């Protein structure tokens, strides 16, 4: 079966004017944020995609390389096919922003794609390879809003101010969360011009947003897609209706949108999550509910301070020795014995929560083992 890259082979010659924008197109544009256009697309300026990609090749070469341990190869191959397609002929990129701030625990990247059909697509990057990005992701479980979410709302507001036509918003992984947060936090007049919000396997929010006026106004235009082995999109409070799609991979590998199966102009649907995904999601939620917000924040800071103390700045920098020493150091970084006890108890709670979740999801297997 085909994926989003194959889709460009056999549908790339069909212009948007003949066959309108769809969810596969949405993921493809989001994937462009994985490419680093820093120093290529001028701040506040715009550039034809062909010229931008040509400059990218001069900087990084044309090899389709991994962009970190969780950003697999495929984006450059996709970009080349996108460049050759009639469907996206004349694509222009503007408003490129790429910022990583270790002190503020923020990772934020966004771009605006000016599409051939006269609309604009605001795309937010998901979590990259930096520890700052992962600290910010975990902070989502303890804070009402993290810096990247606030920047996403400000970015969408500016994009809407500079352009008076139809907008689409989207992102993969954390980028999907940013897309929803931004769309529900811009003025009502701007929301009225947003036709679709694509959340590709992005996590939810610390608290339910179902009752917030901004979310209520936009919720019918949110398209949330998660793979049947989702490990990200099932986290925190997910108030948007979602559809489950088929991936050719399992576990964390299914998070990669290039593994999602495509038939025609849409992703293939599945009826339910895989067992491992259900157990994982229930365990994480159960663990989070047993810790208050202050405890969550202390655990997050302790673990990431310890990881950064090893000299690592990205997940790629980490190895087994560094991770083991960092987790040992995390307990010592906490200020007093009471805090160290909270850390130890938190790790034990996570293990217990996972076991309890597995027992609830596997009652038949449990009875079979007891009988034997």
pLDDT of the residue at 230: 82
Task: Give first-to-last CA distance, the chain, whole Å.
Answer: 41
Helix 293-309 with 320-333: angle, nearest 10 deg:
130
Count CB neighbours of 270 within 10 A: 17
- Residues paired with 267 in a beta bridge: 262
What per-residue confidence (pLDDT) applies to 251? 75
Confidence at residue 223, expressed as pLDDT on a 0 to 100 scale: 97
Write the CA distances from 97 to 109, 187, 243, integer angstroms: 5, 22, 30
The rounded distance, in Å, linking the Cα atoms of 96 and 105 is 20
> What local confidence, expressed as pLDDT, does residue 172 receive?
94
Tell me if 94 sits within 8 A of 122, measured CB to CB. Answer: no
> Which residue, among 51, 45, 4, has the nearest Cα to 24 in the 3D structure?
4
Distance CA 238, CA 225 (A): 12
Tell me how crowded residue 90 is: count the other CB atoms within 10 A of its CB: 11
- 148 near 108, Cβ under 8 Å? yes
| pLDDT by position in tens, the chain (length 372) | 799 999 999 889 999 989 999 999 999 999 999 999 999 999 889 999 999 999 999 999 988 876 665 566 789 999 999 999 999 999 999 999 999 887 777 889 999 999 999 999 999 998 766 777 667 777 787 778 889 999 999 999 999 999 999 999 999 989 999 999 999 999 999 999 999 999 999 888 888 899 999 999 999 999 999 999 887 777 778 888 899 999 998 877 788 899 999 999 999 999 988 877 777 677 666 666 667 777 777 777 777 777 777 777 776 676 655 656 666 665 565 555 655 565 566 656 555 555 565 566 555 444 434 444
Q: How far is CA 67 from CA 72, 93, 98, 315, in A?
A: 6, 20, 15, 11
Rounded CA-CA distance 184/215 in Å is 5
Which one, of 215, 220, 264, lies nearest residue 241 by Cα?
220
Domains, the chain, with CATH or none: 20-34+95-273 (3.40.50), 279-371 (no CATH)
E strand segments, the chain: 46-48, 92-101, 106-114, 120-124, 167-172, 194-200, 222-227, 242-245, 262-263, 266-267, 269-270
Contacts of 74 (CB under 8 A, 6+ apart): 5, 31, 64, 256, 258
- Cβ distance 316 to 340 under 8 Å? no
């Amino acid at each position: 079966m085909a994926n989003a890259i194959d889709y460009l082979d056999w549908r790339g010659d069909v212009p948007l004017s003949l066959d309108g924008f769809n969810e596969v197109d949405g993921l493809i544009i989001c994937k462009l944020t994985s490419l680093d256009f820093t120093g290529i697309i001028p701040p506040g300026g715009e550039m034809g995609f062909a010229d931008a990609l040509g400059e990218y090749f001069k900087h990084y070469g044309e090899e389709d390389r991994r962009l970190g341990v969780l950003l697999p190869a495929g984006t450059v191959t996709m970009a080349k096919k996108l460049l050759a397609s009639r469907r996206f002929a004349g694509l222009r990129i503007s408003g490129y922003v790429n910022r990583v701030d270790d002190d503020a625990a923020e990772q934020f990247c966004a771009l605006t794609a000016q599409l051939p059909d006269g609309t604009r697509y605001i795309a937010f990057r998901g979590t990259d390879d930096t520890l700052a990005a992962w600290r910010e992701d975990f902070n989502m479980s303890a804070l009402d809003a993290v810096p990247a979410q606030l920047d996403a709302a400000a970015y969408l507001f500016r994009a809407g101010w500079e352009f008076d036509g139809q907008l689409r918003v989207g992102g993969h992984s954390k980028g999907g969360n940013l897309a929803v947060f931004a769309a529900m936090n811009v003025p009502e007049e701007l929301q009225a011009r947003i036709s679709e919000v694509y959340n590709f396997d992005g996590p939810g929010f610390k608290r339910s947003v179902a009752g917030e006026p901004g979310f209520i106004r936009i919720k019918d235009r949110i398209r949330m897609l998660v793979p049947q082995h989702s490990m990200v999109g099932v986290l925190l409070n997910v108030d948007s209706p979602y559809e489950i799609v088929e991936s050719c991979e399992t576990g964390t590998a299914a998070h990669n949108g290039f593994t999602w199966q495509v038939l025609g102009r849409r992703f293939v649907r599945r009826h339910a999550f895989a067992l491992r995904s259900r157990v994982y999601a229930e365990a994480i939620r159960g663990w989070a509910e047993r810790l208050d917000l202050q405890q969550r924040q202390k655990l997050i800071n302790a673990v990431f301070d310890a990881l950064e103390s090893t000299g690592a700045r990205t997940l790629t920098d980490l190895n087994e020795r560094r991770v083991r020493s960092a987790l040992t150091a995390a307990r010592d970084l906490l200020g007093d014995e009471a805090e160290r006890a909270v850390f130890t108890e938190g790790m034990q709670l996570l293990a217990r929560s996972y076991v309890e979740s597995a027992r609830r999801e596997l009652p038949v297997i449990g009875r079979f083992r007891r009988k034997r």
